[in-house]
Amino acid sequence: MQDTADDLRLRGKKIGFVPTMGYLHEGHLSLVDEARKRSDIVIMSVYVNPTQFGRGEDLDKYPRDISRDEKKAAERGVDYLFVPTDKEMYPEEHLSFVELDNVSHVLEGEFRPTHFKGVATIVAKLFNIVKPHVAVFGQKDAQQAFIIRKMARDLNFDVEIVVAPIVREEDGLALSSRNVYLSPEERNQATVLFRSLKLAESMVAGGETALSKVRSGMIQLISSESDGKMDYISFVDPACFGKIEETGSLTEVLALVAVRFGRTRLIDNMLLRVRDET
C-alpha cells in the first residue's frame, strides 16, 4: 500500500482517503463522494481495529461482510480498497500509541476509556500507510472527528481533514453499522435520539440559553418514548469540545447523545444554532 501511495504521489495524483470498519452503508459511501470531489484517486480502508474496542465491547460480533463491501465500494467508484489483517497491522508486540489529553477522556471517552487511544493510533498508522492528501470522516462520530482533526494538526500530518454530514434514514435515525443489532421494536424506538436533538434544536433556536433545561426536555422525551438507557446528553463548544451549561456568547452549540437499547449503544449529535438576540 505504501509503494502504491508513493507511486500515485510521484505521478502527481491527489489521494483521497476514507477509513472505515466496513459493513458499508450510505453514510460511508457519502464519504467516498466527498473524497472524490477533492482528489484524483479514492482509497478506502476496511479494518475493524481491535485496539479501539474495550473489554466486553462488540469486537467479536461487529458486523463484517467484505464481499458486499467490495461490491458497494466498487459501485461508488473507490479506486483502491485496503483490507489489512490484524497480523499486518499489529505484527509484533505493539508499544506505541497516540493519545490526546483531556478531549479523549470525556463523553465517549468516559464510557469507553481506551477507545480514542485506539482510534488515534490506527488513524496515525493508516495515514502513514495510505499517505493521503485528504481524509474524510463522518460527523456521526463527532468526538472522533474532532480528535482526528486535532491530532493531525498537533502532529503535523500533512493531511486535510474533511468532516461530512450525518446521513439519516427517512425517520431520522443516523446510519450506523450497529443498527443491525436492533430488534424491530428497538429500531422503532431508536428514532428518539434524533427527535431529542430536534427538540434541543428548537428550544435553543427559540431562545433557551440554559442547557440544563434543554437536557431535561430531552431526557423527558427519551424516557417517556423509549426503553433506552441514556449514557450521556451533553453540550459542547464545537471549537474545543469543552462541556458547557449555558449558550453564553456562542453562536453554535454541539449537542451529543448516547443511548443504549439492550446491548446496542447508539450515538448521535446535532449542531444547534443559538438564537441571535441582537
Catalytic residues, by residue number, are 28
Distance between CA atoms of 95 and 155, rounded to whole angstroms? 18
Instruction: Name the segment binding its own copies (CB under 8 A); options: 44-52, 118-126, 136-144, 224-232.
Output: 118-126
Terminal Cα distance for the chain, rounded: 54
Of 137 and 194, CB closest to its own copies: 137
Shortest separation between residue 138's beta carbon and its own copies, angstroms: 21
Q: Which is nearer to its own copies, 10 or 61 (CB)?
A: 10
Asked if 103 interacts with its own copies (CB under 8 A), we say yes
Q: Which is nearer to its own copies, 144 or 196 (CB)?
A: 144
119 touches its own copies (CB under 8 A): no
For its own copies, which residue of 96, 224, 249, 278 counts as binding (CB under 8 A)? Answer: 96
Q: Which residues inside 155-194 make contact with its own copies, applying CB under 8 A? A: 155-158
With CB under 8 A as the contact rule, the residue among 60, 101, 170, 276 that binds its own copies is 101
Segment near its own copies (CB under 8 A), from 45-53, 95-103, 191-199, 244-252? 95-103
Q: How many CB atoms lie within 10 A of CB 207?
A: 11
Q: Give the nearer residue to its own copies in terms of CB position, either 112 or 150.
A: 150
Q: Give residues with Cβ within 8 angstroms of 91, minimum separation 6.
A: none
C-alpha angle with apex 148: 144 to 150, nearest 5 degrees?
115
CA distances from 57 to 50, 136, 229 (A): 10, 25, 17
DSSP state of 167: P
**Rg of the chain over CA atoms, in angstroms?**
19
Cell, residue 227: 426503553
Spatial CB neighbours of 163, under 8 Å, sequence gap ≥ 6: 136, 137, 138, 139, 145, 149
Min separation Cβ 96 and its own copies, Å: 4
By CB under 8 A, is residue 210 in contact with its own copies? no
Q: By C-beta, is 67 or 156 nearer to its own copies?
A: 156
Longest distance between any two alpha carbons in the chain, whole Å: 60
Looking up cell 450497529 gives 178
Name which of 100 and 272 has its Cβ closer to its own copies: 100
72 binds its own copies (CB under 8 A): no
SS3 category, 63: coil
Among 64, 68, 97, 165, binds its own copies (CB under 8 A): 97
Nearest to 160, CA basis, from 122, 129, 127, 119: 127
Q: Which stretch binds its own copies (CB under 8 A): 64-72, 73-81, 126-134, 251-259?
A: 126-134
With CB under 8 A as the rule, give the number of residues binding its own copies. 31
- Number of CB atoms found within 10 A of residue 16's CB: 28
Binding site for its own copies (CB under 8 A): 2, 6, 9-10, 12, 92, 94-103, 120-121, 124-125, 128-129, 131, 150-151, 153-158
